[in-house]
């Protein structure tokens, strides 16, 4: 559950009024980065050194027993929920740094979240089946952030920290990313079942090696674009308005966000559709304009999602931008389904 607008504004003002970023030029090593940037930032989030986090926690990594992690956030308890790996402000976070963080988390069973930071960039990772997921589900840039970024950051404030809600947020974001990756993988390297299904749809009886190779070669960016354009044309015939690729993407992401929230029955999800109009793209319940979940406006210079008459600026139609508004979208859907 996302936090209130008042809390978001308060955190934003605290960061802007602090002099943390002024210290960046003085942080030429890891120790200075910790003292001048990382510790003050954690303090803004409500964490106190020695009370909520420590530098003394030991992770007995295989072959490196007795290794102390940079920061273990324990919330005053024995075992940490969050492990933080720190680097100097002038360094660029890389795969080697992530591996180090992941090793600490793997050998710290209680840790559910891993954070990799150089004080400026904060990459947040969630624990998976065999360690951390290898891509961050959220990144915060201390020098460049929006209200949507702050909204997610409030989830990591000491007063708001709920590991189950963070897990749900991370799972939702990673699910959408995995779908895009999986869809690309299938089209980029089609499997035998996909080839067999296409051959049968073409009226073929048996997909020999020669036929399978022909079909595989035909699945490329040109054919995918051609099919996409045909699908758009067919759907536009019914509406008389051209629906753009970005609008389709926005609808699919929002529909997936709602499906992942576990607050809706399948029968309710089936009632959600869209109406493309010349001036806007509406996500509706029962195709009823009075039951509008949100209104999406995509323009060359500025784009936004309007929910309950409140406009939320977005940089682009991306999974990251839309999922930042998950709370508002889900609540709007709940209200309009009543």
What DSSP letter does each residue of 169-202 carry, written as one string? HHHHHHHHHHHHHHHHHHHHS--HHHHHHHHHHT
Rounded to two decimals, the pTM is 0.66
CA gap 218, 214 in Å, rounded = 6
Task: Name the CATH architecture for the domain at 5-161.
Answer: Alpha-Beta Complex (3.90)
Q: What is the Cβ-side half-sphere exposure of residue 271, based on CA atoms within 13 angstroms?
A: 17
SS3 per-residue string spanning 15-74: HHHCCCHHHHHHCCCHHHHHHHHHHHHHHHCCCCECCCEECCCEEEECCEEEEECCEEEC
| Whether residue 121 has pLDDT greater than 90 | yes
DSSP class of residue 323?
A: H
DSSP class of residue 256?
A: H
Sheet harboring 272-276: ordered strands across?
Answer: 272-276, 281-285, 288-298, 303-307, 310-314
195 pLDDT band, cuts 50/70/90, is: very high
Q: What pLDDT is recorded for position 219?
A: 92
| Whether residue 3 has pLDDT greater than 70 | no
CA gap 314, 292 in Å, rounded = 19
Q: What is the CA radius of gyration of the chain?
A: 24
| Whether residue 1 has pLDDT greater than 50 | no
CA angle 257, 325, 111 (to 5 degrees): 75
Q: What pLDDT is recorded for position 238?
A: 67
Q: What pLDDT is recorded for position 295?
A: 93
130 pLDDT band, cuts 50/70/90, is: confident
Domain ranges in the chain? 5-161, 220-337
Quick one: which of 131, 172, 128, 130 has its CA closest to 152? Answer: 172
């Amino acid at each position: 559950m996302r936090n209130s607008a008042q809390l978001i504004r308060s955190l934003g003002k605290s960061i802007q009024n602090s002099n943390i970023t002024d210290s960046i030029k003085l942080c030429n090593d890891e120790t200075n980065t910790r003292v001048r940037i990382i510790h003050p930032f954690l303090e803004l989030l409500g964490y106190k050194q020695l009370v909520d986090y420590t530098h003394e926690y030991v992770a007995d990594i295989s072959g490196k027993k007795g290794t102390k992690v940079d920061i273990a956030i324990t919330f005053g308890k024995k075992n940490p929920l969050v492990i933080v790996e720190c680097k100097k402000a002038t360094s660029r976070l890389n795969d080697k740094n992530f591996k180090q963080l992941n090793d600490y988390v793997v050998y710290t069973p209680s840790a559910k979240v891993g954070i990799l930071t150089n004080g400026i960039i904060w990459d947040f990772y969630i624990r998976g089946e065999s360690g951390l997921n290898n891509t961050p589900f959220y990144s915060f840039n201390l020098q460049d952030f929006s209200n949507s970024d702050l909204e997610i950051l409030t989830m990591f404030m000491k007063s708001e920290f709920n590991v189950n809600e963070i897990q749900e947020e991370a799972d939702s974001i990673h699910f959408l990313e995995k779908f895009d990756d999986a869809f690309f993988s299938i089209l980029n390297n089609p499997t035998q079942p996909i080839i067999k299904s296409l051959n049968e749809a073409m009226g073929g009886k048996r997909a020999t090696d020669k036929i399978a190779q022909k079909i595989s070669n035909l699945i490329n960016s040109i054919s995918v674009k051609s099919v996409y354009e045909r699908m758009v044309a067919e759907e536009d015939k019914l509406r008389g308005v051209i629906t753009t690729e970005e609008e389709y993407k926005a609808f699919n992401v929002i529909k997936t966000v709602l499906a992942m929230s576990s607050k809706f029955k399948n029968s309710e999800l089936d009632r959600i559709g869209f109406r493309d109009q010349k001036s806007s793209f509406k996500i509706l319940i029962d195709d009823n304009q009075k039951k509008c979940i949100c209104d999406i406006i995509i323009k060359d210079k500025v784009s936004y999602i309007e929910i309950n008459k409140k406009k939320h600026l977005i940089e682009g139609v991306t999974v990251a931008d839309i999922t930042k508004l998950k709370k508002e979208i889900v609540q709007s859907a709940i209200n309009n389904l009543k």
